[in-house]
Structure 1
Amino acid sequence: MHKHEVVVRFCETDMLGHVNNKNYFVYLEDARIQFFYDAAVIGEKWNYVLASTKCDFVSQAFFHQTLIIESMISRIGNSSFQLDQNILDKDTGNLIAKGESTIVSFNFDKQASEKLSDEVRANLENYLMNV
Structure 2
Amino acid sequence: MARHIYRCPLRWSDMDAFGHVNNVVFLRYLEEARIDFMFRLAPGDGSPSFSGGSVVARHEIDYVRPLVHRHEPVVVESWVTRISAASLTIAYEVKEAGEPDTVYVRASTVVVPFDLAAQRPRRISAEEKAFLSEYLDAPAERPEDAVAA
- What TM-score do the two structures reach when normalised by structure 1? 0.90
Distance 1:98 1:59, change over 3 A: same
Task: Name the structure with the higher strand share.
Answer: 1
Aligned equivalent of 1:43? 48
CA separation in 2, counterparts of 1:129 and 1:40? 22
CA separation in 2, counterparts of 1:22 and 1:84? 17
Q: What SS is found at the alignment partner of 1:16?
A: coil
1:95-110 matched pairs, under 5 angstroms: 95-110=103-118
Q: Judge conservation of contact 1:40–1:120 (CA < 8 Å) in 2.
A: no
CA separation in 2, counterparts of 1:130 and 1:83? 11
Runs of 4+ in 1 over 6 A off after TM superposition: none
In percent, how many aligned pairs have the same letter?
Answer: 26
Aligned residues: 131
Aligned equivalent of 1:53? 59
Aligned equivalent of 1:122? 130
CA separation in 2, counterparts of 1:46 and 1:54? 24
Alignment of 1:3 with 2:5, yes or no, is yes
CA separation in 1, counterparts of 2:8 and 2:91? 17
What is the letter of the counterpart of residue 109 of structure 2? S
Which shifted more, 11-20 or 42-51?
42-51
For residues 6-61 of structure 1, the C-alpha deviation after alignment (integer angstroms, 9 at most, x for no partner) is 13222211111110111100100000000012244972743211111121100011
Distance 1:31 1:60, change over 3 A: same
Alignment of 1:90 with 2:92, yes or no, is no
Which runs of 5 or more residues in structure 1 are unaligned?
none
CA separation in 2, counterparts of 1:20 and 1:116? 34
* Structure index of larger Rg: 2
- What TM-score do the two structures reach when normalised by structure 2? 0.80
